[in-house]
Structure 1
Amino acid sequence: MTLTSLDKEIIKALQQDLPQTLNPYETLAQQLHLSEEALLEKVRLFQEKGLLRRLGAVVRHHQVGYTHNVMVVWQVPEHLITATGHHMAARPEISHCYQRPTRPNWPFNLFTMIHGTSEAACLDFVQELAAETGIQHYQLLTSLRELKKTSMRYFCESPAATE
């Protein structure tokens, strides 16, 4: 697929923060002098052609009142891993939930990132999850500091321009 100058402008725009409006794609489309439908059709085409794999949000949880977080690693029996993972991932307090292989000195296979308004709220939630799931073997890994969160940025240019 050859990218047009409009395609490149759309790609650049999608790499930026979305407008903080009730209809961010409509606002973005207006900025690009397109209809919202035309913009969304381009996004669908980019996905179909493999140019765009996903759109994701970077949530700055401290700015929305979630001042504490903790990574909890759980030792979940293999026959329960899918159901437990789905149960935990459905909870709004959890932003990340994923399975990882165990190691000889590391028996934990389910990782969850939990956010709360206080340290006590996070700890209470962990105990609640343990009671709900019956998973009692876990460890809390606390963040020492928050690293810079940025999205990927790609430079769009034609191959001839690099010669």
Structure 2
Amino acid sequence: MSNDNVVMDEADTRLLKLTQDGIPFVHSPFAMISEELGMTEEEVVHRIEQLQKNGFIRRFGASIGHRAIGITANAMCTWNVPDERVEEVGAVMAGFTEVTHCYERPRYPDWPYNLFTMVHSYTRKDCEYVAQEISRATGITDYKLLYSVREFKKTGVRL
């Protein structure tokens, strides 16, 4: 919810610049940032909350560098799900802990698959096992696994 009368000050801008590329994965992630800004960790957290509340920050989340921890087998599982079962089947698929994304997409004349799940694991064999388990749980047997061969860096808006 944005408030058009609210403006960011210089400390807010510096805070965004210090956090936009991530925060350290440590016990007190805002300690270095608060030191750099000359304020307490509580003030840093409060400013982040206010920036979110006022619409300057849309989302403040965490993402794990899965490749850095050895999760290098990534499969986009594409499923041919009857249209009338997409909601039901999608909910089951999304419930698997190995599934990080679950999307419905349009079908095409040469591509009948309409439900996509992203599975991250340590080996291709693990990805195949997860797909088989999803297939068993949903009764959907028409699927393909597409493996990632290259990862591109995802970045948000930068100051």
1:118 equivalent in structure 2? 123
Question: Structure 1 residue runs of 4+, over 6 Å off?
Answer: none
Determine if contact 1:19/1:27 at 8 Å carries over to the other structure: no
Change in Cα spacing, 1:4 to 1:75, as seen in structure 2 (3 Å) is same
Partners of 1:14 and 1:92 in 2: how far apart?
A: 28
> Of residues 79, 87, 92 in structure 2, which corresponds to 1:82?
87
Query: Which residue of structure 2 aligns with residue 154 of structure 1?
Result: 158
Is 1:91 the equivalent of 2:91?
A: no
Identical aligned residues as a percent: 34
The CA deviation at 1:111 is: 1.1
Give the superposed CA RMSD: 2.2
Gaps of 5+ in 2: 1-5
How high is the TM-score relative to the length of structure 1?
A: 0.80
| Deviations 1:53-96 (CA, angstroms, capped at 9, x unpaired) | 11244432121121211111112223332333233223232222
Question: Which has more helix, going by share of residues?
Answer: 1
Segment of structure 1 superposing worse, 69-78 or 98-107: 98-107
Mapping for residues 1-163 of structure 1, pairs under 5 Å: 1-25=6-30, 28-147=33-152, 149-155=153-159
Instruction: State TM-score, norm by structure 2.
Output: 0.82
Q: Secondary structure at the match of 2:67?
A: helix
Further displaced range: 23-32 or 66-75: 23-32
Distance 2:50 2:85 in 1: 38
Give unmatched runs, 5+ long, in structure 1.
156-163
Spell out, residue by residue over 1:119-142, the C-alpha distance to the aligned partner (whole angstroms, 9 max, x if none). Answer: 111111110111011111111112
Q: How far has the Cα of 1:23 moved from its partner?
A: 3.5
* Contact 2:90 2:115 survives alignment (8 Å): yes
Tell me, yes or no, if the aligned pair for 2:92 and 2:137 is still in contact at 8 Å: no
